[in-house]
């Protein structure tokens, strides 16, 4: 398996993996094409001979250039449980640290124990802290969506020269 920046042609696979997850909010196919084009430097795909088997999408916060926000992370059902998500997050942090990123932020619903565990493990493996705070309450969503808590991991050490 290789982990690398996505290319536009990976957009349909990201959409498929998200749709098939059964738990993530599915964006339009067009949105995944844009992610692969405009945010490739802050996103990654896990690729095998069978194609894309996992991804993480993220962006640098415009008002906090020392923070990368993870928008979505998902792994194809055929690869779950093999550490792919952990490898994707680690790869992403390694790629953005030289850009001055010292924090990773993401939002997670309180019932998503798998994601809470994944991001907590990232903080532990990097020897840094993790903070949780309420960000988007359920009443802000137009459907039966749970609230989203903000998880902030860091600080990561400053990248060397």
| Phi and psi, residue 112, nearest 5° | -90, 75
Name the more confident of 145 and 160. 145
What digits encode the pLDDT tens for the residues 67-88? 999 999 999 999 988 999 999 9
Provide the pLDDT confidence category of residue 23 given band limits of 50, 70 and 90.
Answer: confident
- Chain CA centroid to CA 77, Å: 17
Q: What is the pTM of this model?
A: 0.94
pLDDT at 143: 85
Q: Cα dihedral angle (75, 2, 37, 147), rounded to 10 degrees?
A: 30
pLDDT at 157: 86
**What is the H or E stretch that residue 37 is in?**
helix 29-38
Crossing angle between the packed helical segments 11-21 and 29-38, to the nearest 10 degrees: 130
Tokens of 126: 């990097």
């Amino acid at each position: 398996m290789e982990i690398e920046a996505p290319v536009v042609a990976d957009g349909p696979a990201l959409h498929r993996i998200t749709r098939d997850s059964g738990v993530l909010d599915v964006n339009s196919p067009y949105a995944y094409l844009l992610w692969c084009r405009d945010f490739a430097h802050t996103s990654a795909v896990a690729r095998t001979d069978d194609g894309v088997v996992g991804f993480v999408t993220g962006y640098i916060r415009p008002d906090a250039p020392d923070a990368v926000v993870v928008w979505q992370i998902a792994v194809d059902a055929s690869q779950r449980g093999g550490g792919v998500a952990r490898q994707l997050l680690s790869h992403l942090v390694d790629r953005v640290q030289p850009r001055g990123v010292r924090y990773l932020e993401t939002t997670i619903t309180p019932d998503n124990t798998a994601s809470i565990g994944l991001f907590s493990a990232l903080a532990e493996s990097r020897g840094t802290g993790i903070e949780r705070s309420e960000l988007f309450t359920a009443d802000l969503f137009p459907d039966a969506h749970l609230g989203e808590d903000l998880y902030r991991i860091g600080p990561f050490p400053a990248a060397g020269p």
